Structure 1
Amino acid sequence: SAFQICYPLTADSADVQAAADAEEYLSYLVLDLSVRGEIPAGFGAYLKEKNAYPYLTEEEWDLLKSDRPDFLGVNYYASLAVKKPGPIDPKADLAFFNMEDYVIVNNPFLPTTTWLRGSYDPLGMKLTLRKLNDRYRLPMIITENGYPQTEAPDEEGCINDQERIDYIAAHLHAVKEAVSEGIPVFGYNIWSFMDLLSGSQGYKKRYGLVYVDHQEGNRGTLKRMPKKSYNWYRNVINTNGKYI
Structure 2
Amino acid sequence: MTAELRFPPRFRWGTATSAYQVEGATRADGRGESVWDRFCRVPGAIENGDTGDDACDHYARAGEDVALMASLGLTAYRLSLAWPRLFPAGDGRIEPRGLAHYDRLIDRLLAHGITPLVTLYHWDLPQALQDRGGWRDRATARRFADYAAACFDAFGDRVRDWVTVNEPWIVGVLGHQLGLHAPGERDLAGSVRAMHHLLLGHGLAASALRATGRPGARAGVAYSLYPHTPAGDTAADRAAAHASDGYVNRWFLDPVHGRGYPADMREHWERAVGPLDFVADGDERAIAAGSDFIGVNYYTRRIVAAGRGDGPWPWRVERGRPGVPRTDLNWEIVPDDLTALLLRLHRAHPGVPLLVTENGAAFDDAPGPDGGVRDARRVAFLHGHLAAVHRAIAAGAPVEGYYHWSFLDNFEWAMGYRPRFGLVHVDRDTRRRTVKESGRWYGAVARAGAIPARPPGGAG
User: Equivalent of 1:224, from 409, 430, 433?
Assistant: 433
Residue type of the alignment partner of 2:227: I
Q: CA RMSD in A?
A: 1.8
CA, structure 1 residues 160+32, in 2 after alignment: closer, same or farther (shift >3 Å)? same
How far has the Cα of 1:121 moved from its partner?
A: 0.4
Residue number in structure 2 paired with 1:143: 357
CA contact (8 A) 1:147 1:164 kept: yes
TM (norm. structure 2) is: 0.47
CA contact (8 A) 1:159 1:228 kept: yes
CA distance in 2, matches of 1:194, 1:114: 17
CA, structure 1 residues 184+99, in 2 after alignment: closer, same or farther (shift >3 Å)? farther
Residue number in structure 2 paired with 1:80: 302
CA, structure 1 residues 199+59, in 2 after alignment: closer, same or farther (shift >3 Å)? closer
TM (norm. structure 1) is: 0.87
In the alignment of these two chains, the number of paired residues is 228
Residue type of the alignment partner of 1:27: N
Residue number in structure 2 paired with 1:31: 253
CA contact (8 A) 1:165 1:229 kept: yes
CA distance in 1, matches of 2:391, 2:307: 35
CA contact (8 A) 2:228 2:245 kept: yes
CA distance in 2, matches of 1:242, 1:221: 34
CA distance in 1, matches of 2:328, 2:284: 44
Does structure 1 residue 101 correspond to structure 2 residue 314? yes
Higher-Rg member (1/2): 2
Deviations 1:169-222 (CA, angstroms, capped at 9, x unpaired): 1000000000000111111111111111111222210111111001xxxxx111
Gaps of 5+ in 1: 89-95, 215-219
Residue number in structure 2 paired with 1:192: 406
Larger RCO: Structure 1 or Structure 2 (Cα < 8 Å, ≥ 6 residues apart)? 2
CA contact (8 A) 1:9 1:107 kept: no
| Paired residue secondary structure (2:425) | strand
CA, structure 1 residues 229+60, in 2 after alignment: closer, same or farther (shift >3 Å)? closer
Which moved further from structure 2: 148-157 or 52-61? 52-61
CA distance in 1, matches of 2:444, 2:282: 52
CA distance in 2, matches of 1:28, 1:185: 20
Residue number in structure 2 paired with 1:134: 347
How far has the Cα of 1:61 moved from its partner?
A: 3.5
Residue type of the alignment partner of 1:59: G
| Paired residue secondary structure (2:405) | coil
Does structure 1 residue 53 correspond to structure 2 residue 276? yes
CA distance in 2, matches of 1:62, 1:157: 55
CA, structure 1 residues 154+101, in 2 after alignment: closer, same or farther (shift >3 Å)? same
CA distance in 2, matches of 1:234, 1:205: 22
Gaps of 5+ in 2: 1-222, 454-460
How far has the Cα of 1:52 moved from its partner?
A: 3.5
Residue number in structure 2 paired with 1:11: 233
Residue number in structure 2 paired with 1:93: none
How far has the Cα of 1:55 moved from its partner?
A: 4.7
How far has the Cα of 1:123 moved from its partner?
A: 0.4
| Paired residue secondary structure (2:413) | coil
